[in-house]
């Protein structure tokens, strides 16, 4: 949206009919830009949701034998096959129906059978109560993001399979272009930053609760929020949209600096063929 338009918009009474026309047009351009940002947010949230649903579905292969009947060898074999089939899973542990860890197979360490009692840990108790449990995002070393996904079987006697998952979204969060310097980022259910092109902000577990757009999105529940004016974490004026990431209660935001609305319009124009 260029200066001349803005001047026309706020122009004198003599130019009123023209101003009204330009006003409508700019409103339309803005609505279209908002819709484009919304599609980017929904695309990213859909992708992350699908990733998680697929992980859950793959872990489901390992929760189909009851304790104690199922042989240890079959379980160890299933764990190895799961690691082979799903590169994002780095470790799988089997908890029996009493919450005791019976088998653990890991890409990173020697297999250990700790016999530890996990019955009071959320990964056992929550999975037993709600079928599936997603832990908070955590970090190993300086750069590796993980989450814990725990899945119960059809009945208590099937126990719980607990996977440590290294998600794949960091690269596309960093790669997604929003105008020239806009961003795509994600917060967890506590409004803690869990994905952002500036990984330092993520690693410091930046709390985003103070941003008006984050509060508004939280109030929207599972619905997407339409484009709104807001200030981003760096204090810039931005257009902000968001979409929820079921079933995790996370949210994806896409934000475009207001100063770059023109960039989106002109890049759309140059990529259009006649």
Q: Where does this chain bind other proteins (CB under 8 A)?
A: 1, 6, 9, 21, 24-36, 39-40, 42-43, 46-47, 50, 54, 57-58, 60-61, 64, 81, 84-86, 226-229, 237, 239, 258, 261, 264-265, 268-269, 271-274
Residue number with CB closer to other proteins (49 or 206):
49
Per-residue HEC secondary structure of 167-218 comes to CCCHHHHHHCCCCCCCEEEEECCCCEEEECCCHHHHHCCCECCCCHHHHHHH
Residue number with CB closer to other proteins (149 or 193):
149
Residue number with CB closer to other proteins (27 or 156):
27
Return d(Cα 104, Cα 148) in angstroms, integer: 14
Q: Is 205:199 a contact under the CB 8 Å cutoff?
A: no
Query: 185 CB contacts (<8 Å, ≥6 apart)?
Result: 173, 193, 195, 196, 197, 252, 253, 255
Residue number with CB closer to other proteins (53 or 139):
53
Minimum distance of other proteins from residue 35's CB (angstroms): 4
Minimum distance of other proteins from residue 90's CB (angstroms): 17
Residue number with CB closer to other proteins (214 or 241):
241
Minimum distance of other proteins from residue 198's CB (angstroms): 24
Return d(Cα 240, Cα 256) in angstroms, integer: 7
Residue number with CB closer to other proteins (188 or 260):
260
Closest CA to 42 of 254, 219, 198, 260: 254
Closest CA to 146 of 165, 162, 127: 165
Closest CA to 17 of 149, 25, 238: 25
Minimum distance of other proteins from residue 156's CB (angstroms): 18
Minimum distance of other proteins from residue 53's CB (angstroms): 9
Q: Which two tokens stand for residue 26?
A: 């700019």
Minimum distance of other proteins from residue 1's CB (angstroms): 6
């Amino acid at each position: 949206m260029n200066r001349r338009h803005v001047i026309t918009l706020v122009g004198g009474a003599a130019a009123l009919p023209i101003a009204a026309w330009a006003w409508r047009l700019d409103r339309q351009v803005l609505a279209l830009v908002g819709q484009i940002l919304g599609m980017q947010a929904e695309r990213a949230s859909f992708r992350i949701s699908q990733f998680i649903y697929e992980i859950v579905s793959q872990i489901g292969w390992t929760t189909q034998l009851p304790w104690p009947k199922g042989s240890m060898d079959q379980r160890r074999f299933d764990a190895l096959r799961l690691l082979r089939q799903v590169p994002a899973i780095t470790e799988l542990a089997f908890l029996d129906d009493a919450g005791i860890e019976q088998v653990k197979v890991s890409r990173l360490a020697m297999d250990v059978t700790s016999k530890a009692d996990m019955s009071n840990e959320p990964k056992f108790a929550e999975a037993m109560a709600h079928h599936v449990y997603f832990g908070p995002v955590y970090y190993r070393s300086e750069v590796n993001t993980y989450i814990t996904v725990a899945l119960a079987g059809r009945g208590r006697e099937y126990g719980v399979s607990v996977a440590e998952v290294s998600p794949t979204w960091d690269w596309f969060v960093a790669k997604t272009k929003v105008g020239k310097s806009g961003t795509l980022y994600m917060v967890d259910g506590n409004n803690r930053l869990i994905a952002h092109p500036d990984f330092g902000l993520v690693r410091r577990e930046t709390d985003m609760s103070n941003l008006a757009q984050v509060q508004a999105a939280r109030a929207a529940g599972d619905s997407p929020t339409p484009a709104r004016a807001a200030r981003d974490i760096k204090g810039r004026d931005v257009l902000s949209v968001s979409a929820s990431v079921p079933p995790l209660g996370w949210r994806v935001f896409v934000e475009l600096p207001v100063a770059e609305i023109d960039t989106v319009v002109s890049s759309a124009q140059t990529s259009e063929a006649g």
